[in-house]
């Protein structure tokens, strides 16, 4: 008599072979390449992939992971540079503002000294020229000179602020032009 377990053996063997082939085929297929966003968020994976790509530059030219890691590394560097530049610009603006205030205070002190000296001279002239209308005009002229000096201090401060803003705009436009990586052509 035939053994019933042997009758099932060829069928089971065929299924086992198919299952093993599927397992081997799925184990051999490479995982999908990691994305740009993955490398943007995972610095360790990005650095490891870049190190692997640097070891084999020929294979790295066609490796999608290498391209994604390099692109993410450039984006991270660009963002860090922008943050550094913004911090430097804030620091520079604070220094310019402090210098402007110091300059305005110095000019105001000089204008006050000039006004007090002009006032003492005018008062002396007023004492000697009682009833003379020229003394009153001297006081008015000195007051006009002092107000012009104060106005020129304000104009210089405003010009410095405008110059700082223009410099900031020029730096920002030149940085945005130079910070963007340009594609290159390989012949």
Answering whether pTM is above 0.95, one says: no
Q: Which two tokens stand for residue 82?
A: 């922008």
* Distance, CA of 93 to CA of 37 (rounded, Å): 35
Q: Residue 126 CB: number of other CB atoms within 10 A? A: 16
Closest CA to 118 of 152, 146, 151: 146
> Rounded mean pLDDT of 57-70?
93
Closest CA to 91 of 24, 169, 168: 168
Is the pLDDT confidence value at 80 over 80?
yes
**Percent of the chain at pLDDT exceeding 90:** 41
Q: At what angle do helices 43-55 and 64-128 cross, to 10 degrees?
A: 120
Q: What pLDDT is recorded for position 11? A: 64
* Distance, CA of 139 to CA of 159 (rounded, Å): 30
> Phi/psi at 180 (nearest 5 deg)?
-80, 125
């Amino acid at each position: 008599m035939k053994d019933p377990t042997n009758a099932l053996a060829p069928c089971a063997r065929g299924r086992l072979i198919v299952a093993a082939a599927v397992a081997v085929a799925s184990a051999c297929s490479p995982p999908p390449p990691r994305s740009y966003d993955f490398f943007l968020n995972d610095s360790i994976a990005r650095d490891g992939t870049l190190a692997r790509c640097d070891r084999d530059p020929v294979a790295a030219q066609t490796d999608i992971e290498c391209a994604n890691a390099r692109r993410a590394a450039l984006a991270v560097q660009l963002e860090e540079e922008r943050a550094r530049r913004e911090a430097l610009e804030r620091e520079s603006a604070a220094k310019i503002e402090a210098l402007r205030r110091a300059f305005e205070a110095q000019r105001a002190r000089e204008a006050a000294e000039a006004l007090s000296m002009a006032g003492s001279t005018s008062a002396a002239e007023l004492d000697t020229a009682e009833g003379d209308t020229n003394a009153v005009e001297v006081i008015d002229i000195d007051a006009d000179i002092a107000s012009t000096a104060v106005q020129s201090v304000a104009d210089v401060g405003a010009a410095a602020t405008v110059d700082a803003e223009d410099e900031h705009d020029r730096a920002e436009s030149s940085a945005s032009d130079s910070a963007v990586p340009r594609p290159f052509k390989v012949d």
